[in-house]
């Protein structure tokens, strides 16, 4: 008997141990994104607490096709139960308080809701989008009918316009903002008594190159009637306590959203923001959203890891937005049933969610809202909503944002440090610590934390203060350094001119020094310079090789010597890689040009071509090296100056190469242009032949090696 009891106990213990991982398994993985676009695992900020269905609510008739979810200041929950033509009102514990279905309107006539798709609650009113009845109906907080806001009448509406309100928001001044699913002019703005004041935030129209060309041949009437000139519509709206409006859309073309997603921190998003699926507008309709994170706040970044067969490929389909605590905000991706939460600056705080039937997973995500420290997410297919409770990690995160917003920077540093103990990959924490130190005047320490998060914008702000302090200490040294550099360059150029003038009349063979210094005559006087290189032998192959090697070294120095602002990732290329990147196009151009010009009476040999191209690279050396040095002293807003300097070097070099080929081959301007274009085509042809040859050679080697392996196997 004891043996049987022992066996039963052992089996029970084994079952309990094996069941632990299953019961503790999470339905999703919380994550953020790195600057490289890789998903980084993160502690859970929210965990699923419970699923609230019709039985739990205490409803006799189960909800069907729920469209919207809202929470008021007392944490009561409101559900737009579209198919049942009602608004379900729950208390803070998710138990039924009452429903709004029928009412007696101001004419004393029995009335009812028809497919309500949206609901919004203020301190004293309930606004319902009575979608199929083309109106908004208002009730007091007890569910008693107040008044109807009908379809607005205005000349701003087309005669055949259809009004289908699907979402509504009301600001602190009583202004009503309505999203109509069939209105393309933007968000409808009305006064508190329903008078139309206009439209705001009209979406951008994206036209293809063919459509733009075709519109040039259309009449004004045809362009007005063209459907390609119709703006895309919004699908949801919410509003902050300060009156800022968040709106979402899922009708922007995937290719435009994908292009918007590719913009990183530091890139210009001003023009790209028109393709954002979520926007923040002020009351005037101006787009004011901050997008300072690594990636634009638009949902999923690495979309390639999702299967197209499950209809999860491509950008996120954003269908709702909710405002959370401490200026955070969340959007839902109905395509993948995921939730993405950002801070006010557009940094991704966390993302979680997945499709499925396990607690915490969703089948068809429809709406999202906050209830204190909980998040409620509506699932239209499962006909319920899931309650997600904020975790300890989430509490610390919100506390850090609160202390930061309230300028309690020392406490914010403690919070962010605590977060880093739990999640060392969380770049927003590094930024938070850096901002706290910056505001305390600890600029150099702040720079280190900004570096850890690859935050070049805030790093630049801190560096400005450090640079300002450094300039104040060495204010007299800076003009001296500039004067010495200018004086040394002036002396060098005078010496080079003196040597070049002496060499021009000396005759006989040229010294290596004279051949090198002659490049500084060419960059200023290309026509007679290249003529003398070929006919007077003022240049040489050995000097050309030297300049070619210096060019490789200059680009290698650029690779390893750029400042943090220009190269925050610290990426670099080996000297071998830089040699390939310089020598490959150099040789391709030289060979293609020689092959082409021999057919069109070109007078230059391959040696002449190589010398001319090499001497033409001197401007690149003179711009790449200084720009690399300067890059260590500029901020992100000044980085374009370095790029402009290098761009100028490339243009200068390109112009010298063109003039060098024209003089070397004794071509006219028109023939020089034609042969240059032909050279570019020849380069592409040589590359194609080279790739084809190496591919065939690889297949031959593979075939022979397989035969040898087969023979050895047979033997």
pLDDT band (50, 70, 90) for residue 254: low
Task: Record the pTM.
Answer: 0.78
The pLDDT of residue 158: 64
The pLDDT of residue 273: 67
pLDDT at 647 over 80: yes
* pLDDT tens for each residue of 80-101: 999 999 999 999 999 999 999 9
pLDDT at 328 over 70: yes
Lowest mean pLDDT among 160-174, 213-227, 438-452: 213-227
pLDDT band (50, 70, 90) for residue 533: confident
Lowest mean pLDDT among 144-158, 517-531, 624-638: 144-158
Maximum mean pLDDT: which of 270-274, 374-378, 496-500, 527-531: 374-378
The pLDDT of residue 663: 92
The pLDDT of residue 232: 58
Distance CA 266, CA 568 (A): 11
Task: Give the pLDDT mean for 447-453.
Answer: 91
Distance CA 491, CA 485 (A): 10
Task: Give the pLDDT mean for 289-307.
Answer: 82
* pLDDT tens for each residue of 580-608: 999 999 999 999 999 999 988 888 899 99
Task: Give the pLDDT mean for 658-673.
Answer: 92
The pLDDT of residue 440: 87
Provide Rg for the chain, Cα atoms. 34
Task: Give the pLDDT mean for 139-162.
Answer: 82
Average pLDDT, the chain: 86
More confident residue, 644 or 14: 644
pLDDT at 377 over 70: yes
Task: Give the pLDDT mean for 699-713.
Answer: 86
- Percent of the chain at pLDDT > 70 equals 87
Confirm if 139 and 125 have CB atoms less than 8 A apart: yes
Q: Where are the beta strands (DSSP E) in 500-658?
A: none
- Main-chain dihedrals φ then ψ at residue 403, nearest 5 degrees: -65, -35
The pLDDT of residue 21: 40
- Percent of the chain at pLDDT > 90 equals 56
pLDDT at 644 over 60: yes
Question: What strand order describes the sheet that includes 46-52?
Answer: 46-52, 384-390, 374-379, 365-371
DSSP 637: G
Burial of 201 (0-12, 13-18, 19+ CB in 10 A): buried
For the range 672-679, what are the long-range contacts, defined as Cβ-Cβ under 8 Å and sequence gap of 24 or more? 675/593, 675/596, 675/597, 675/600, 675/602, 678/596, 679/589, 679/592, 679/593, 679/596
pLDDT band (50, 70, 90) for residue 421: very high
Task: Give the pLDDT mean for 498-517.
Answer: 84
H helix intervals, 145-253: 209-215, 220-225
Maximum mean pLDDT: which of 12-16, 568-572, 693-697: 693-697
The pLDDT of residue 163: 86
Task: Give the pLDDT mean for 373-378.
Answer: 96
The pLDDT of residue 77: 97
- Main-chain dihedrals φ then ψ at residue 245, nearest 5 degrees: -110, 125
The pLDDT of residue 206: 52
């Amino acid at each position: 008997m004891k043996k049987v009891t022992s066996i039963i106990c052992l089996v029970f213990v084994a079952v309990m141990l094996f069941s632990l991982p299953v019961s503790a398994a999470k339905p999703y993985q919380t994550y953020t994104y790195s600057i490289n676009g890789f998903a980084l695992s993160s502690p859970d900020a929210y965990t699923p607490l419970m699923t609230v269905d019709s039985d739990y609510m205490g409803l006799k008739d189960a909800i069907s096709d729920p469209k919207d979810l809202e929470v008021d200041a007392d944490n009561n929950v409101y559900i737009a139960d579209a198919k049942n033509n009602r608004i379900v009102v729950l208390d803070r514990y998710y138990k039924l308080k009452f429903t709004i279905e029928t009412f007696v309107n101001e004419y004393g006539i029995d009335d009812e809701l028809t497919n309500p798709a949206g609901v919004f609650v203020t301190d004293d009113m309930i606004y319902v989008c009575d979608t199929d009845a083309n109106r908004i109906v208002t009730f007091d907080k007890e569910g008693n009918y107040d008044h109807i806001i009908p379809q607005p009448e205005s000349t701003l509406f087309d005669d055949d316009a259809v009004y289908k309100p699907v979402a509504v928001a009301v600001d602190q001044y009583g202004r009503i903002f309505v999203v109509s699913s069939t209105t393309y002019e933007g968000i409808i703005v009305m006064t508190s008594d329903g008078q139309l004041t206009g439209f705001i935030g009209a979406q951008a129209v994206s036209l293809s190159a063919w459509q733009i060309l075709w519109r040039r041949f259309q009449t004004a009437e045809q362009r007005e009637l063209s459907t390609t000139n119709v703006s895309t519509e919004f699908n949801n709206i919410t509003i902050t306590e300060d009156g800022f409006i968040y709106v979402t859309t899922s009708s922007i073309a995937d290719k435009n959203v994908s292009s918007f997603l590719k913009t990183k921190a530091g890139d210009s998003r001003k023009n790209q923001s028109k393709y954002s699926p979520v926007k923040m507008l002020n009351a005037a309709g101006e787009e004011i959203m901050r997008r300072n994170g690594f990636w634009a706040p638009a949902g999923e970044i690495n979309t390639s890891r999702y299967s197209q067969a499950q209809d999860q490929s491509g950008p996120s389909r954003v269908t709702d937005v909710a405002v959370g605590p401490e200026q955070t905000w969340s959007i839902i991706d109905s395509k993948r049933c995921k939730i993405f939460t950002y801070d006010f600056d557009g940094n991704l705080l966390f993302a979680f969610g997945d499709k499925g039937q396990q607690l915490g997973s969703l089948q068809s995500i429809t709406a999202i809202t906050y209830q204190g420290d909980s998040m409620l997410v509506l699932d239209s297919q499962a006909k319920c909503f899931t309650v997600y409770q904020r975790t300890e990690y989430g509490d610390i995160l919100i506390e850090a944002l609160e202390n930061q917003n309230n300028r309690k920077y020392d406490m914010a540093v403690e919070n962010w440090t605590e977060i880093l103990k739990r999640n060392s990959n969380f770049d927003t924490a590094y930024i938070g610590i850096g901002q706290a130190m910056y505001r305390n005047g600890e600029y150099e320490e702040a720079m280190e934390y900004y570096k850890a998060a690859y935050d070049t914008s805030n790093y630049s702000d801190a560096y400005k203060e450090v640079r300002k302090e450094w300039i104040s200490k060495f204010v007299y040294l800076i003009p001296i350094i500039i004067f010495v550099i200018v004086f040394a360059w002036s002396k060098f150029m005078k010496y080079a001119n003196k040597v070049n003038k002496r060499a021009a009349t000396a005759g006989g063979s040229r010294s290596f020094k004279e051949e090198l210094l002659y490049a500084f005559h060419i960059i200023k006087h290309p026509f007679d310079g290249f003529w003398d290189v070929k006919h007077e032998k003022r240049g040489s192959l050995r000097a050309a090789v030297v300049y070619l090697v210096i060019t490789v070294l200059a680009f290698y120095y650029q690779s390893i010597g750029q400042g943090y602002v220009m190269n925050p990732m610290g990426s670099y290329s080996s000297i071998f890689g830089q040699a390939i990147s310089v020598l490959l196009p150099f040789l391709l151009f030289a060979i293609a040009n020689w092959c082409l010009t021999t057919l069109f009476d070109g007078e230059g040999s391959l040696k002449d071509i190589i010398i001319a191209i090499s001497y033409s690279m001197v401007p690149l050396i003179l711009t790449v090296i200084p720009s690399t040095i300067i890059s260590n002293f500029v901020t992100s807003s000044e980085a374009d100056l370095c790029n402009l300097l290098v761009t100028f070097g490339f243009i200068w070099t390109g112009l010298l190469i063109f003039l060098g080929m024209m003089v070397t081959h004794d071509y006219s301007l028109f023939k020089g242009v034609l042969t240059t274009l032909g050279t570019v085509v020849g380069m592409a042809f040589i590359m194609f032949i080279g790739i084809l040859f190496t591919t065939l050679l690889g297949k031959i080697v593979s075939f022979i090696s397989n035969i040898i392996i087969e023979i050895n196997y047979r033997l």
